[in-house]
Amino acid sequence: MTFHPLLLDLARRHPRLIALNVLLGFSGALFNGVSTALIIPVLLGFLGQPVATKGAPPLIQSLLLPFRSMAGDYNLLLMTLAVVLLIALKNLAAYGNAVVAGLLKRATANDLRDRGLKLLLEVDLDYYSKTGIGDVVNRLNNEVSRAASAISMITRALTVSITALVFIGLLLAMSWELTIVSTVLLTIVTLANQTSIARAKTFGKQLSEASRNYSSGVLELISGMRLVRATANEQIEYQKIKQQVHNREQAEFKAQVISALIDPVNEVIGILAMLCIVIIGRMFLAQQVEAFSAILLTYLFVLFRTLPLIAQINGARSQLANISPSLEIAQDFLRRDNKSFMPNGNLSFQALKQGIQFKHLSFAYPGQQKQALKEVNLYLPRNSTLALVGSSGAGKSTLADLLPRFYDPTDGAILIDGQDLRCFDFQSLRRSMGIVSQDTFLFNTSVRENIAYGCASATDDQVIDAAKRANAYEFIMQLPQGFETQIGDRGVMLSGGQRQRLAIARALVQNPEILILDEATSALDTVSERLVQEAIEQLSRDRTTLVIAHRLSTVKQADQIAVMEQGRVVELGSHTELLAKNGQYAKLCAMQFSEATAQKVARIEMSKVSYSLRSSLNSLLGSLSLILNGAIDDPEEQQEFTQVAYSAALKLTHSLEELEQAQPNEPVLTLSA
């Protein structure tokens, strides 16, 4: 197997662990080989049949030479102790080898994950728009783990190969003729496993693909659980994920079947090979009658110990073939040359002294020809507010995303105090900015930790003060554990208005010099909007603010209002100036405020109907109550109150008819006393 570039890179990063692993493996192989060569002579010695030196292979004679000078009993005892010591050293080396292999696997896995995390934190945001979150999670966890196991698997295969070479050296020393025959037979074993290895690689690709689909499916299901419940699609999603689980388990099962097939095939072929060697050995060693039994037994014993090593090598090859797709996926995931990284500036942002200028700004999202912004020229003076308004897709949010350098403009520049934005360091620049958007993100942790996220060193007093200024303190104190309440994934335990107020409190703690508000109140009800708007006014005070608004009533007090259409600024001025121009802004205002006026008139009319209904109903109930309770004895008075009740009933009926005749699209209000 050709070494993969990722494996070579890991080897360069962890040379000491790899060298120690190989050294321990080599030592264990030597101890294993020598002890194996001595076991048969020792066993024969205990049976009263010592190995004859005459006709014995030179290697066996050299191994037995240190024990020849001693008397028989001491000779056998010393040989036995030597074999036990060698076996103990072999197992000690094997234990050390396993520990180092474990350390190597964890070190390489941590190394790959660390590089992956750094890449995810540094890569441009466009990467996430093209790559599914489930795919990213699967690559960082499953594929990286499988790829990391390859390096330890290779060192293990190398250790086993060294041991096998030692044993093959012993076999050659004992009989090169039989070893040639053994090599041919072992080659047949290797070729017999080649088909299994090729299929293992195919199943490895299937397993990687199934794992990716499963991770993506589960993450999407959890993220979209509200939609699944709202549309009653639980059974459909269950069947979909169930099929993905089945596909993953099937691919893993097939890979296990192929891996499990290697050992029995090797054993059967190995037994047949040993029978052949016994038959052929009688021919080659027939002249060495005196040493025939000992030599053949020793040779067969060494060969018997060699066959499992060949099986282990083939098994390692099969496992490497199975995880080779993960190596490719991890390599592609960690590559930087095929991803976009925004260059960082070297100037530390200190403070805004004059203002922010958007100069001939044009921008197109990566991979798209259509420009989202075209020749935008704006200037935002320090401690002033610039509002961006316009229809959806006009480029408002895109312009706001360029200010903290989520993207860089394709043409033109953003200048801060005359200095290009790209010259500033990311960290210092973004720490000076606070961003509050309509899609507020909160972590699954406590209220306090979410508020202090923008400033990890914030004290409890600062967190409480920010919560009060953001109109969040009251509802926080009503939570079960107050500021220590866990708010669930993305703040699911809170309402939209509460989440927005926590985001504003977070920005207050951060104390940003530049503030970006991206339709922070567009999805809120009237009460929540009022509370959030008050908090925003508190947050915006004495700050340089860029605000994107859908509701024009929230930006009337802005110093400048820029009206955007199809990526261009079509109007610029204050609220009064733009109304006087009677252009696009005036039309937007007419549409929004006429709707608001119509709703207000409708509320007034409904209030009148409500008052008439209540008056008629009160008169009817009062008259009937007096008549039924016998409070009126005079027949003429009874007749008079009956007439009053009848008139009230007619008036009530007339009011109900007016209510029924109302248009179905008019707002319906709850009648209140």
Alpha-carbon distances of 592 from 372, 463, 471, 668, rounded to whole Å: 25, 37, 27, 19
3-state secondary structure 372-436: CEEEEEEEEECCCEEEEEECCCCCHHHHHHHCCCCCCCCEEEEEECCEEHHHECHHHHHHCEEEE
Q: Do domains 5-334 and 595-660 have the same CATH topology?
A: no
- Cβ-Cβ contacts under 8 Å for 543 (sequence gap 6 or more): 383, 512, 513, 514, 515
Weakest mean pLDDT among 17-26, 168-177, 327-336, 361-370: 168-177
Is the pLDDT at 465 greater than 80? The verdict is yes
- Cβ-Cβ contacts under 8 Å for 202 (sequence gap 6 or more): none
d(CA 560, CA 580): 14
* Tokens read off for 129: 């728009």
pLDDT tier at 65, thresholds 50, 70, 90: low
Helix axes 15-46, 58-68, angle to 10 degrees: 70
Is the pLDDT at 301 greater than 80? The verdict is no
Do 329 and 13 touch, CB atoms closer than 8 A?
Answer: no
Is the pLDDT at 669 greater than 50? The verdict is no
* Residue percentage of the chain with pLDDT more than 90: 3
If one compares 285 and 97, the residue with the highest pLDDT of the two is 97
Q: Could you give the dihedral angle defined by the CA atoms of residues 126, 132, 134 and 135, in that order, rounded to the nearest 10 degrees?
A: -90
Buried b (16+ CB within 10 A) or exposed e, 16-36: ebbebbbebbbbbbbbbbbbb
pLDDT digits (tens, 9 = 90+) for 263-287: 676 667 666 766 776 676 666 655 5
d(CA 325, CA 206): 9
What are the strands, taking DSSP E only, across 476-615? Answer: 514-518, 544-548, 560-565, 568-573
Assigned fold of 595-660: Helix Hairpins (1.10.287)
What superfamily in CATH does domain 5-334 come from? Answer: ABC transporter type 1, transmembrane domain (1.20.1560.10)
Do 164 and 310 touch, CB atoms closer than 8 A?
Answer: yes
Is the pLDDT at 359 greater than 80? The verdict is yes
pLDDT score for 434: 84
Instruction: Give residue limits of the domains in the chain.
Output: 5-334, 595-660
Weakest mean pLDDT among 272-286, 403-417, 508-522: 272-286
- DSSP secondary structure letter of residue 493: T
Weakest mean pLDDT among 19-23, 324-328, 522-526, 590-594: 522-526
User: What is the residue whose two structure tokens read 């104390």?
Assistant: 511
* Tokens read off for 302: 């060494």
Candidates 173, 185, 184, 110; CA nearest to 145 is: 110
pLDDT score for 377: 92
Rounded average pLDDT over 489-502: 78
Weakest mean pLDDT among 104-113, 411-420, 440-449, 650-659: 650-659
pLDDT digits (tens, 9 = 90+) for 119-153: 888 888 778 777 777 778 778 877 888 887 777 77
